[in-house]
Amino acid sequence: MTNATLFLEKIGQAFLFKRFRPRIRDYLFKAGFEEVPYEAFGILFFLGVVLTVPTFLFVIYHPISNLSAVSIGILSFLGWVFIQLLISFMLFAIMYFYYNIKIYKRTQELEDRLPDYLTLVSTNLKGGLSFEKSLWTAIKPEFGILAKEITIVSKKVMTGNDVTEALTEFANKYESPILRRSMNLLIGEIESGGKITQIIDKIIENLRKTRALKAEMAAATVSYMIFIGVIVTMISPGLFALSAQLLRIIIGFTSSLTGAGMGASPIPMKFGEASIKPEHFRIFSMLAIGTIAVFSSMIISIIEKGSIRGGLKYIPAFLIGSLLVYLIMSAVLQSAFAGIAMG
């Protein structure tokens, strides 16, 4: 480990209070990190400082450079703190979304592998093995995350922990109603001394039925997702681009009427300037398109996956795609209506 790595880890540890570290460790463990990446938090701190300097110079310092020294000092301090906090919040939000996506993917993979794993456990039980040995011998590399989690459960059982406690900890580790329901049924059967094989077979059957129903629901809602996607990426940017060109035409038309009316008409006519500038409308359009893209990706995620987290991966595609379409259509329409806009 180099000195730079140690330094970054110390910086990262300094910004994570000790009382929050266990929660952060548990949260990151769900995302596949066995240790808290303090080095990454240290890099984020210095990245925030690097981004703060140019932002401060262009946004804060340049407008206030003509003020008195005292005013510059106070406003510079407040502006630096505000920008640093804002950039830090944005960077941590990006990390949070990234880890959330990883946790969601791991949870989905775990739920997908659970029926196949329980099938092997049921086969081992029918072959005469005990429940603890059935859990251990059913572990296969192809089960991925589930294999690692069950390995932890088996090791806890082998070191003297109760199997029901180990399974409960495993079920509560992930925010998965399917996993918790399955483990609760299994734990209840173990505690009651019933036939574990029968309950496992029923769990497997229910899990496969649930998977089939989800696939059918996703297939049935494809048309709705396509409809929303077309509106977000094509129709909405097109309408905003057309509205921007209409605004330019109206401004040019009123300007020409004002010039012509003042010299030729005996009736005094006066047209005021448009209260909306094309540049301001362009900014508003891009913000509106971005907002529509973000919320539409969440709606599609709820329709397809039943969870907002499953649609976070759609946000960059929808956001970049809709903004590109808006810019392209704005350029095309501006060249097409150039003569009309000039009056």
How far is it, in rounded angstroms, from Cα 8 to Cα 36?
Answer: 13
Single out the residue of 47, 41, 49 nearest to residue 12, CA to CA: 41
Res 326: pLDDT: 92
Stretch 20-41: mean pLDDT: 79
CA angle 38, 42, 43 (to 5 degrees): 115
Q: Summarize pLDDT for 102-112 with one digit per residue, the tens.
A: 888 888 888 88
Kindly report, residue by residue over 225-278, the tens digit of the pLDDT.
Answer: 888 888 888 999 999 999 988 888 887 777 766 655 555 555 555 555 556 778
Check whether 324 has a pLDDT greater than 90.
yes
Position 102 scores a pLDDT of 85
**CA pair distance 190, 118, nearest whole angstrom:** 15
- pLDDT reported for residue 240: 92
Give me the mean pLDDT over the 171-182 stretch: 86
pTM for the whole thing? Answer: 0.69
Q: What are the domain boundaries of the chain? A: 3-105, 112-217, 221-342
- Using H for helix, E for strand and C for coil, what is the string for 219-251? HHCHHHHHHHHHHHHHHHHHHHHHHHHHHHHHH
What long-range pairs does 130-137 form, CB within 8 A, spacing at least 24? 131/163, 131/190, 131/196, 132/157, 132/158, 132/163, 135/163
Question: Looking at residue 268, what is its pLDDT?
Answer: 53
Average pLDDT, the chain: 82
Q: Output the pLDDT for position 98.
A: 84
In this prediction, residues 210-216 reach a mean pLDDT of 83
